[in-house]
Amino acid sequence: MRSLSNIKISLLQKRTNPFLNYLHRPLQMASTISPVSLISSTTSSSTFPLKFNFPAKSPSTVNFRANPLTAANAAASGKDRVLGRRGLVFTLTTTLPLLLPFSECIEAFAAKAVESDISEYELVKEEIRKVVTKGKAAGVLRLVFHDAGTFQVDENSGGMNGSVIYELDRPENKGLKSPFKILEKAKSEVDTVQPVSWADMISVAGAEAVSICGGPTIQVSLGRLDSKEPDPEGKLPAESLDAFALRQSFQTKGFSTQELVALSGAHTIGNKGFGSPTVFDNTYFKILLEKPSSGSMIGLPSDRALAKDGECLRWITKYAEDQDVFFEDFKKAYVKLVNSGARWKSL
């Protein structure tokens, strides 16, 4: 793996090179274009958005948005139509030498763009791991849920947008100032090299918190935009909800019962009484199968309510029996969570 200093140098070079920065995202798409596709009779504007006109011997020009045979024949009439095929051959032989170097150039820039993306992600991860310990992981993971958990499908509002930094004084967010300050330190270091949004920072931090505690490795995409204002209040599920209300609440956010149960497994770390507070495993589900009483200090009322619902209990049992299945389902649900409601940088 490349050293952090090399990653920083690479990102600084990208940041100070406007040309590379401008080409950074579009070239990831362009790298998939081959010269053959550019001259194919089925080429469309979605494959090659540029419109080139090359000089031809006939009065017409060859338009790359059109079928080459049609373009060549359209210029001819009567006896001249016999030249259509020759015109196409001429076009191919004269333009291919130009297109091949162009394609190679695009591929080279695209490789740089992909490398830059990887380097930026590694930089964010490294700075997060400097400040997030096992003891602080639960708070950092909770920050993710409280930022993304405001998402509403029907309103297309809330979600993973960094707005939680404006909402820290709300009663439901009590205790989140500490993990916020932890990540603020890491973010300031990353920003000196490559500015990163709060939404991206929190998304990656939650994934790393899980990994640090022995959970699955989760990679998330970068490129989320931050909100400039807080999300509406009252969008997070209350801790006192029963299973039916929880399922309804998560449904409004686009999550199934299975995803609800998988994401609830995040409570396996922290001080909620589900085994070791610093180990991410499937102990949460094993303890729920024991059906702790309502007067128990184990978990939240909403945790205990899950085991009383038949559909939820089916998934609790599955995850209690197979940790690998839980890890895999949690990874998928987590990525979906941190993408919920996200606004992305334009390509």
Q: Could you list the active site residues?
A: 146
CA angle 189, 190, 195 (to 5 degrees): 130
Paired tokens of 66: 């059109």
CA distances from 241 to 195, 204, 230, 254 (A): 39, 29, 24, 18
The neighbouring-strand residues paired with 344 are 224
Contacts of 268 (CB under 8 A, 6+ apart): 274, 275, 279, 280, 281, 282, 283, 284
Query: In angstroms, how far apart are the furthest CA atoms of the chain?
Result: 95
Both tokens of 318, joined, read 């599955």
Provide the angle, in degrees to the nearest 10, between the axes of the packed helices 323-339 and 134-148. Answer: 50
